[in-house]
Amino acid sequence: MSAYTNEIELLNAIKARHGESWAAIEPEYAARMRAQNKFKTGLDIAQYTAEIMRKDMGDYDRDSSQYTQSLGCWHGFIGQQKMISIKKHFQTTEKKYLYLSGWMVAALRSEFGPLPDQSMHEKTSVASLIAELYTFLRQADARELGGLFRQLDDAREAGDEVLAQKVQNEIDNHQTHVVPIIADIDAGFGNAEATYLMAKQMIEAGACAIQIENQVSDEKQCGHQDGKVTVPHEDFLAKIRAVRYAFLELGIDDGVIVARTDSLGAGLTKQIAVTREPGDLGDQYNSFLDCEEVAPQDLNNGDLVLNREGKLLRPKRLPSNLFQFRAGTGEDRCVLDCITSLQNGADLLWIETEKPHIGQIGAMVDRIREVVPNAKLVYNNSPSFNWTLNFRQQVFDAWLEEGKDVSAYVRDELMGEVYDSTELAQEADSRIRTFQADSAQQAGIFHHLITLPTYHTAALSTDNLAKEYFGDAGMLGYVEGVQRKEIRQGIACVKHQNMAGSDMGDDHKEYFAGEAALKAGGKDNTMNQFG
């Protein structure tokens, strides 16, 4: 007996216990509503998706071709349409996640209006977006199953038992649109207690994976901008522990923590780390500071000095009261950050780089894996990179090193359209196409994400429509550029009433009111024009 029919029988028994007062309740309708609502709470989602992520991490450890991917989504509808599209094109959501970008929350979801990525948006907006994304994904489940239930009814009415059984099997084996979300908690929005409270809200909303970075919370900057300030390791580890305690308190024992280091691009620190003995973690952090050796008589009023190996060292202090690291130490600091995070409770790493270069990333991962062999990265395939220029220059440099003739190319001008059809451009595009697979194999990248792609796609598609609709094309601009493509590409949203829940509403009206139900889906519904 199928899970669906088992549920109907269970509900029949429940109905029978309540006698005549429940006579109008149809157990099969209730079974359908239960099937359409697989997850009752955000914690149910967090537990389910955490198990998925842990399985996927194990798969990747055994086979680096089994990497995972996501796109950043700034609205529930965008996340929903992404997962509907993935199911349509690939028939599965396996190893496909969502990413919740703090950058896009700041830019698009703050009540203050658009903000830079500096943790100035409301703390609760992150958890609210997680809840919104999962509301839309659950609605995608309900919509898809609702369509199957209507197919089942049609098959029964037609007396087609074979088709009815086929549809029932699809119902029993329905794959949910609910997938893991890696959620950005920035630098924790305050101290460790604030981080814990924020993490709890995010987990309760459904997050199974929380990404946290080692910048100073009140000085936080976008990872691809200047002015980033890191914190000593002990400060960061306290926040990692705070997130772990939040997971454990809520019963999500498999919750995933992604520790991000911005040390590669961060040349500043706000604090001198506490150190108790030579070579300890605080001493290692301080060893990267840009210092000058001084004698006692050289000290000025208020100078701060370090004692290292019997020498007095004065760290370079800027007018901002920040301390500066030595130039060229970023990679070493990144490696130390990553090893330390993994040794103290983090599950995955995130290294924010200035360019998408597999060799650079892989060299750091190799050093990390000397200490932690199963170290894995989450990597930002960032729109902040000029991918075309970066990869064309990488090919140029490789060819130059190989002794290949590059006289036909000007390295600083390789973005130009004049190069689009050249052998160099084709090789660069080939490397971009295989970047995910290559870096998963060569640089330990378990999860590939793009932080803010849908920010750019929304702008691009709107620009295309505005140019045509308000120009000479007029209404044809919408018809040709949008609607005709929706119809021919099978975009479900062309039936926007259905996507918004009109058919589900009609189903419920029938459940609640029977023949008296006033439905929207009759012959005069213009949605019928789309088949």
Which H/E stretch holds residue 379?
strand 377-380
* Length of the chain, in residues: 531
Tracing tokens 């208020």 back to the chain, one arrives at 302
- Decide: helix, strand or coil at residue 479: helix
Query: Whole-angstrom distance between the N-terminal and C-terminal Cα of the chain?
Result: 34
CA proximity to 507, closest of 201, 151, 177:
151
Q: Count Cβ atoms below 10 Å from residue 484 Cβ, excluding itself.
A: 13
CA angle 181, 182, 186 (to 5 degrees): 135
Backbone angles phi, psi at 352, to 5 degrees: -85, 115
- Decide: helix, strand or coil at residue 305: coil
CA proximity to 350, closest of 226, 253, 265, 469:
265
Ligand-binding site membership of 184 (annotated): yes
Q: Strand pairing of 291-293 and 311-315?
A: antiparallel
CA proximity to 279, closest of 342, 336, 213:
336
* Catalytic one of 208, 222, 291, 338: 222
Q: Strand pairing of 256-261 and 306-308?
A: unpaired
Question: CA-to-CA distance for 99 and 421, rounded, in angstroms?
Answer: 34
In angstroms, what is the C-alpha Rg of the chain? 28
Backbone angles phi, psi at 451, to 5 degrees: -65, -45
Strand order in the sheet with 291-293: 291-293, 311-315, 306-308
- Are 264 and 331 in contact by the 8 Å Cβ rule? The answer is yes
Tracing tokens 């390791």 back to the chain, one arrives at 233
Packed helices 3-17 and 161-172: angle between N→C axes, nearest 10 degrees: 90
Q: Is position 208 annotated as part of the catalytic site?
A: no
Show the tokens assigned to 61: 């450890």
Active site residues: 222
Binding-site positions read: 184
